Amino acid sequence: MRQLTQLLSALSLVGIAAHADEPANLDAAFAAVEPKVIEWRRDLHANPELSNREFRTAEKVAAHLRSIGLDEVTTGIAHTGVVGTLRGGKPGPVIALRADMDALPVLEQTGLPFASQARGEYMGQDVPVMHACGHDAHVAMLMGAAEVLAERREELAGTVKFIFQPAEEGAPPGEEGGAELMVREGVLSGPDAPKAILGLHVWPNDAGTLSYRSGSFMAASDGIEIKVTGRQTHGSSPWLGVDPIYVSGQILAALQGIPGRHVDITRGPAVVTIGSIQGGVRGNIIPDGVTMLGTVRTFDRGERERLLARLEATVTGIAEANGASAALTVTDSNPVTGNHPELLQAMMPTLRRAAGEDRVYEGNLITGAEDFSFYQEQIPGLFLMLGAGDPAVPREQRPSNHSPFFTVQEEALMVGVRTLVGFALDYPGSNRL
């Protein structure tokens, strides 16, 4: 009794009304749906699909949402996206819960009995496909949350939109997709426009933990393409041409000085990476051009703009000094992903109830990027890392997301379901933003 009193007191501190009317058998509902969540996750893991090609996944999701009686199920959003709408029996706000559906061109090496054997086409090539980033878990958890909430629609205040998004990993070249396209196609607008949104991402932290950061959490990411144009000549006579490979080498070295000497690191770190350099076909021919591909990661909007401006000035200046020319193109931009400070504070009791008082903690900045940020540009949002790593393995030895060995400890799945359901139940009683 004393513990219950303390919990109610803690909830009231942040303006959350304790759910005295929450169904007493909610734990039973979670227990009943857990085997289904595990089964769905394993099926999805064994049958992954690449970005904008999530046809089977979308059909499975839509069929489930219809089977549990959601008020509306819309398919074909942003190519293969699915959105289900559940209207509660009590008045209240609209909120959204999001899961991403796509997999990666990775050859799975986990050895799991339900490991992927799937193949797909990526950039014109036949490739292996794997859920190497855990989106199979995201979809299964949101399907489970939808079932729990649908069974209790009469107790639900407000409306929940379940957003199953394609192409978080990026649309194929020449196509559009992902959260940005979902937003453009109206997933956050209309009569059921959400007031807030929650997303979860499995991470190699200890299974069942939740980590967060108030404000910036995951980096803004900008893809960059640098084309250096010189003048082709024989390798024995470089003075008769303009060597774009030599120029590119100078540019590559200079780029690494920009984060360390031209970015205000008190506003957040920055990373510039060149991951691909292509130019020339023979060792005795200086080519006409070189193409470099890379990414820029930042955590502050102003510093991002200054870094990109400095990047362009550096690229063009070095090229011109050597008699060459260079063009910088910025592509595939994702804004910073983070957590709305007031919304995070209001929902903290919910998170602690879902994961455990001592299993919710502030994490480090993550230089990876997420297109969940496009939703957060429109409405307040939370984006949390759900630990899915094996606690028996040292953290530095656990496979990272996008690794062919990446795995999800299934005991983490119901923490995710509890978090999603808790957000939907608790947000209506909060001091809403």
Q: What ranges in 47-154 are assigned the alpha helix state H?
A: 55-67, 135-150
Angle at alpha carbon of residue 391, lines to 387 and 394, rounded to 5°: 105
- Cβ(318)–Cβ(247) below 8 Å: yes
Residue 211 CB burial class (10 angstroms; 0-12, 13-18, ≥19): buried
Looking at residue 6, its pLDDT comes to: 37
Give the H or E element holding residue 382. strand 381-389
Looking at residue 97, its pLDDT comes to: 98
Specify the pTM: 0.91
Give the H or E element holding residue 205. strand 196-206
| Sheet architecture: strand order including 271-278 | 271-278, 289-298, 220-229, 325-334
Produce one character per residue of 401-430: b if its CB has 16 or more CB atoms within 10 Å, e if not: bebeebbbbbebbbbbbbbbbbbbbbbbbb
Is the CA virtual torsion 146, 147, 148, 152 positive or negative? positive
Please give the class, per CATH, of domain 220-334.
Answer: alpha beta
Domain ranges, ordered by start, for the chain: 2-218+336-429, 220-334
Say whether 220-334 and 2-218+336-429 share the same fold: no
User: Count of residues for the chain?
Assistant: 433
User: Alpha-carbon Rg of the chain, whole angstroms?
Assistant: 24
- The two tokens of residue 100 are 């991403």
For the chain, 433 residues long, give each residue's pLDDT as a single digit of tens. Answer: 333 333 333 333 333 333 334 444 799 999 999 999 999 999 999 999 999 999 999 999 999 999 999 999 999 999 999 999 999 999 999 999 999 999 999 999 999 999 999 999 999 999 999 999 999 999 999 999 999 999 999 999 999 999 999 999 999 989 999 999 999 999 999 999 999 999 999 999 999 999 999 999 999 999 999 999 999 999 999 999 999 999 999 999 999 999 999 999 899 999 999 999 999 999 999 999 999 999 999 999 999 999 999 999 999 999 999 999 999 999 889 999 999 999 999 999 999 999 999 999 999 999 999 999 999 999 999 999 999 999 999 999 999 999 999 999 999 999 999 999 999 999 998 766 6
The CATH number assigned to the domain with range 2-218+336-429 reads: 3.40.630.10
Looking at residue 366, its pLDDT comes to: 97
Report which DSSP code applies to 410: G
Give the H or E element holding residue 398. none
Looking at residue 17, its pLDDT comes to: 37
Give the H or E element holding residue 294. strand 289-298
Report which DSSP code applies to 364: -
Q: For residues 188 and 185, give the distance between their C-alpha atoms in angstroms, rounded to a whole number.
A: 9
Residue positions annotated with a catalytic role: 102, 168
**Concatenated DSSP letters of 91-109:** EEEEEEEEEE---BS----
Looking at residue 433, its pLDDT comes to: 62
Q: Which of 188, 199, 194, 211 is nearest to 428 (CA)?
A: 194
Residues in contact with 253: Cβ distance below 8 Å, sequence separation at least 6, in sequence order: none
